[in-house]
Amino acid sequence: MTLSHLERCLALLLRALSRVLLALFALVARFSATFGGRGGGPLTVEPPTEPLLLLPGVELARRIRRGQVKSVDVVQAYIDRIQAINPVVNALVKDRYDAALQEAMQVDRMVSEGEEDEKTLQEKVPFLGVPCTIKEAFAVHGMPNSSGLLARRNIISSTDAIVVSRIKQAGAIPLGVTNCSELCMWYESSNNVYGRTRNPYNTQRIVGGSSGGEGCILGAAGSVIGVGSDIGGSIRMPAFFNGVFGHKPTTGVVPNDGQFPIAVGPRIEYMCTGPMCRYAEDLDPWLRVMAGTGINKLKLDEEVEMRGIKFYSMEHDGGSIFVSPVDQELRETQRRVVDYLQTDLGVEVQNVEIKKMRYSFQIWSALMSSKGADGQPPQSFTDLLSDHGKEVWPVWELLKWPLGLSVHTLPAIGLALTERFTALNESGNEKMRSLAQTLQTELMNLLGNDGVLLYPSHPRVAPKHHLPLGVPFNFAYTGIFNIFGFPVTQCPLGLGKEGLPVGIQVVANHFNDHLTLAVARYLEKAFGGWAVPGAS
């Protein structure tokens, strides 16, 4: 299959537009850096020294239930850590420290009274007294819920999203909410409400998006478990850039209700809420809490025999004209994983070449713009920017932006513009929707119920701030799996040559989340998982 002439023209146009926007932003950023910008070389956060910060969530819960450690001490340790690192990384945008400490005291009182035994507590409140953080896009009672949109900066949630309610019922204690990109549709977490979040391994690098604040606070040891959402990689990219675990569940397992913006129409099938954790052993129990009865759709209680898994590996998408080539360092990292699997398990990892994967961006874009069952197009990003207020004109916002007169970020303006270009290519979109069906069938037949695919989480390690504007479609490496509804776990594999996290995606067929989670635990033991920032 070859790209049509129109598609090639569109690709060239979008590439040219992204280069112009990047040059424009770099020029303005140079001036803005003179006034209040962070000068000097790259910074990293200091490594944590409090031992409580280096325990998985399930271990903290176990010690709290047994009275071996007080929840108040754990919560206070994390508050102290956030207060130390947040001025550097700007990940937590609103705290609820006083309420968290009060809730922790209630936990300690309940444990000391001993009305329920340890086993009962584990069943009823598996994360009793464990602090957590939540993406600001989710409704958390008493917390802001702007999703980085300036028009919503004064909105305070009066209720909890379903997943937030469930994690509270499981005993977890939210410390606050974390930063995201404007309207959760860009892979750098920066907005005009809270500013820019910086990578804990190098503050000149991005944290990813849209759950970037969540990935950052976890990677910086300011949280141990968290909540993110993902429609194009918004859990997995931040998890990759910040060296932690992120799981996009099979579609429909965890409810998306209670976040803004909420997916509607066909986009409901692509949106996923899922766990983000510093340690792999927290993924399974945290997912169970978030999913509620939806967990019955999965097979998490099935024992996984690693030698019984069929492993497949694909090092790149085959050469998309829209997406950057995969860094050699990441390809070599993936090969080390393959070599280790073959040596340690004695299995054969089959290298595959799925040629249709090169159309990942076009497929994601076409499906995201698909009409619903009622024949109506999805709500446009431009409409979301207005949030029922004054109508937004993207071209006018672009003209105002260099003068500092637009209330929107440049990525949001650029997305609103490209959305219009994409809508003009309906014949190409229809062809991509057809291609998506054949590619999904091919992948489902390959994976079956006992296979996983190893695939890059992103073509590059965490890039410098603003650079995603020049390569806006690199999210295609994660976004394609949203279209198919597959479960995917991003697994950290330590630090690369620049001291930045490297990692890999593990993909399985529908409802086989237990396979990707088992591989995540295996790879953590083999490659070390999360690496302490600032340790070297």
Catalytically annotated residues: 135, 210, 234
Q: Are 495 and 531 in contact (CB under 8 A)?
A: yes
Distance of CA 318 to the CA centre of its chain: 24
Q: Are 220 and 85 in contact (CB under 8 A)?
A: yes
Closest CA relative to residue 514, chosen from 291, 214, 231: 291
Q: Alpha-carbon distance 450 to 456, whole Å?
A: 20
Question: Which stretches does DSSP call E strand in 221-308?
Answer: 225-230, 245-248, 272-277
Q: Which two tokens stand for residue 10?
A: 């569109």
Q: Which two tokens stand for residue 348?
A: 């054969």
Q: Are 212 and 126 in contact (CB under 8 A)?
A: no
Q: Are 145 and 138 in contact (CB under 8 A)?
A: yes
The secondary structure of residue 162, as a DSSP letter, is H
The position carrying tokens 């204690």 is 173
Rounded CA Rg of the chain? 22
Q: Alpha-carbon distance 395 to 41, whole Å?
A: 36
The secondary structure of residue 247, as a DSSP letter, is E
Q: Alpha-carbon distance 474 to 455, whole Å?
A: 14
Q: Are 212 and 246 in contact (CB under 8 A)?
A: no
Q: 339: how many CB neighbours lie within 10 A of its CB?
A: 11
Q: Per DSSP, what are the bridge partners of residue 351?
A: 313
Secondary element (H or E) of residue 77: helix 71-89
Number of residues in the chain: 536
Q: Which two tokens stand for residue 171?
A: 């005993």
Residue partners of 35: CB distance under 8 A and separation at least 6: none
Q: Are 382 and 268 in contact (CB under 8 A)?
A: no
Q: 279: how many CB neighbours lie within 10 A of its CB?
A: 22
